[in-house]
Homo-oligomer: A and B are copies of this chain.
C-alpha cells in the first residue's frame, strides 16, 4: 500500500489516497484518535470518483464515531480496466431493462459473480494492508455497496465483525445460497419502493441469512431515498459491535 496524497478535512479527519498495486483507494482516519481505531470498509457500486461525495460523507460520519474508514475501487470501474465479458453482461442488462423484460438469472450471474470473485480477495488484501497501520486497530465492519460482495466478505473474511448490507442490487442464486452461511450480526437496509429491486427476493435473502442477530430496516422511498436517520441507526448498530 502506497499513500499518494493526503488532506485534512474541515472536521480534522485525515483523508489519504492510496494505491494497492493497480487499485486505488481512500483511507479516512479520525482527527482525534488516541487509540488504534476500529475500521469500517465502505462498499459502493463502483466508481470512486463519482461516489466520492457520498463516500466522504459516510467516512466523516464514521470518524465522528471514532472509526477509521476505507474503500477501494471495484474491478472494471473508475480507472481500472474493463472486462469484455462484464461489459457485455452490462449491455444485456440494460437491453432487458429498457425492453421492460425480466432480468434473467444468466445476465445477473455473468454480471455479478465474476465481480464478486475478483473484488473479495482485493478487499481482503486491502484489509491486510490497512491493519498493519498503527492508527488502525480493528474490529472491522463492512457497510453498503453491492450486496453480493458484502455477503461474500461476510462469509470468507473472519476479521469482519458486523456488516450493514443494502438489499438494493441483483442477487445471483449462488449468492442467495451463500447468505445462509453468514453468521455475523447484520443490519440490512431495504428501500420498500425501490422499483428496480425485487422486494420479495430481498426479504428472502434476509430470511436466508444464518446470523443469530439480523435486523431488517425497511423504509418508504426509492433506491436512492435511504432516510438520513438510517445513519444514526447504523451508528447504533456498529457502536454495539465494533467497540
Interface residues of A (CB under 8 A from B): 192, 203, 206-207, 211-220, 227, 229, 232-233, 236-237, 240
Q: Given A203-B203, A207-B192, is A220 in contact with B229 using a C-beta cutoff of 8 Å?
A: no
A192 to B215, CA, bound (A): 9
What are 18 of the A-B contact pairs (CB < 8 Å)?
A192-B206, A192-B214, A192-B216, A211-B220, A212-B220, A213-B219, A213-B220, A213-B227, A214-B219, A214-B220, A215-B219, A215-B227, A216-B216, A216-B217, A216-B219, A229-B236, A229-B237, A233-B233
Question: Apart from A215-B218, A216-B218, A229-B236, what are 11 other A-B pairs with CB-CB below 8 Å?
Answer: A192-B207, A206-B218, A212-B220, A213-B220, A214-B219, A214-B220, A216-B216, A218-B218, A229-B240, A232-B236, A233-B233
- B residues less than 8 Å from A213 (CB atoms): 219-220, 227
A213 to B207, CA, bound (A): 24
Q: Which residue of B lies closest to A212 (CB)?
A: B220
A215 to B215, CA, bound (A): 12
A179 to B186, CA, bound (A): 29
A43 to B243, CA, bound (A): 34
**Closest chain B CB from A181 CB (angstroms):** 16
A192 to B216, CA, bound (A): 9
- B residues less than 8 Å from A232 (CB atoms): 236
- B residues less than 8 Å from A236 (CB atoms): 229, 232-233, 236
**Closest chain B CB from A94 CB (angstroms):** 29
- B residues less than 8 Å from A233 (CB atoms): 233, 236
A211 to B192, CA, bound (A): 13
A217 to B233, CA, bound (A): 11
Q: Which residue of B lies closest to A209 (CB)?
A: B220
